[in-house]
């Protein structure tokens, strides 16, 4: 069974809308399109390129697909060579033309279609596509959640964890990677467990920790 990996650029307050540039996704009057660009550095670029090099299929929402399809067919660099070749699967309620090479629209049952992709490919990546990600998170249809967290707060915009996300435990699968400009890469895998609760005043912390940290106002 293959892996479904979600790759997202997000702010500290979880906003993942339109990180790349103007015109990407101005929905709901979003005023910060391109917020990622000033904080992008070589470390981010190298790691993103390495991740794309290992994928054998791309799963995208309609908006992200349109952005990629308008750009990458005209670029033959290391990333373009991969994206222009691998199968592309698009989740859309409409009837997009899908003129980019090797593109296919998923059927109306997205959850079932994504499960089928696991059987057909070794390493499927979902890049951006925040609306699609909401479905994958709510259905538990992912094996890795790779979050590039950038040091800024926007206060508005489409959030990675929107309404309807199902409570789920996650486990860090590799040490966090930090970059010179303050971005942090966090890679998680679902544990399959529902979050549990405890009582910090019931012997689960030392007395010193309780008096100096927990419950401080």
In tens, the pLDDT along 84-130 reads 999 999 999 888 889 999 999 998 899 999 999 999 999 999 999 99
Q: Is 27 helix (H, G, I), strand (E, B) or coil?
A: helix
Query: Of 80-89, 166-175, 191-200, which gets the smallest average pLDDT?
Result: 191-200
Band of residue 164 on the pLDDT scale cut at 50, 70, 90:
confident
CB 97 within 8 A of CB 87: no
List Cβ neighbours of 213 (8 Å cut-off, separation of 6 or more): none
Which residue ranges form the domains of the chain, and what is each CATH number?
3-212 (3.40.430.10)
Give pLDDT, residue 126: 96
Band of residue 156 on the pLDDT scale cut at 50, 70, 90:
very high
Tokens of 103: 């593109």
pLDDT for 52 beyond 70: yes
List Cβ neighbours of 116 (8 Å cut-off, separation of 6 or more): none
Band of residue 201 on the pLDDT scale cut at 50, 70, 90:
confident
Share of the chain above pLDDT 90, in %: 73
Give pLDDT, residue 166: 86
How many residues does the structure list for the chain? 217
Distance separating alpha carbons of residues 142 and 191, to the nearest angstrom:
11
Tokens of 142: 């992912």
């Amino acid at each position: 069974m293959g892996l479904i990996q979600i790759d997202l650029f997000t702010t500290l307050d979880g906003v993942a809308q339109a990180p790349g540039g103007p015109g990407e996704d101005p929905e709901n009057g979003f005023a910060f399109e391109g917020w990622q660009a000033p904080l992008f550095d070589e470390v981010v670029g190298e790691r993103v390129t390495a991740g794309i090099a290992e994928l054998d299929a791309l799963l995208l929402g309609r908006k992200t697909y349109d952005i990629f399809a308008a750009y990458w067919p005209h670029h033959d660099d290391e990333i373009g060579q991969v994206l222009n070749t691998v199968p592309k699967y698009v989740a859309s309620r409409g009837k997009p033309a899908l003129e980019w090479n090797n593109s296919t629209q998923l059927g109306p049952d997205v959850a079932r279609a994504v499960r089928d992709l696991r059987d057909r490919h070794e390493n499927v990546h979902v890049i951006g596509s925040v609306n699609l990600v909401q479905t994958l998170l709510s259905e538990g249809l992912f094996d890795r959640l790779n979050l590039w967290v950038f040091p800024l707060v926007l206060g508005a915009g489409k959030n990675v964890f929107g309404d309807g996300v199902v409570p789920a435990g996650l486990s860090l699968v590799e040490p966090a990677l930090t970059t010179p400009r303050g971005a942090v890469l966090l890679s998680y895998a679902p544990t399959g467990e529902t979050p549990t609760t405890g009582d910090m005043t019931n012997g689960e912390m030392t007395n010193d920790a309780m008096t100096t940290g927990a419950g401080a106002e």
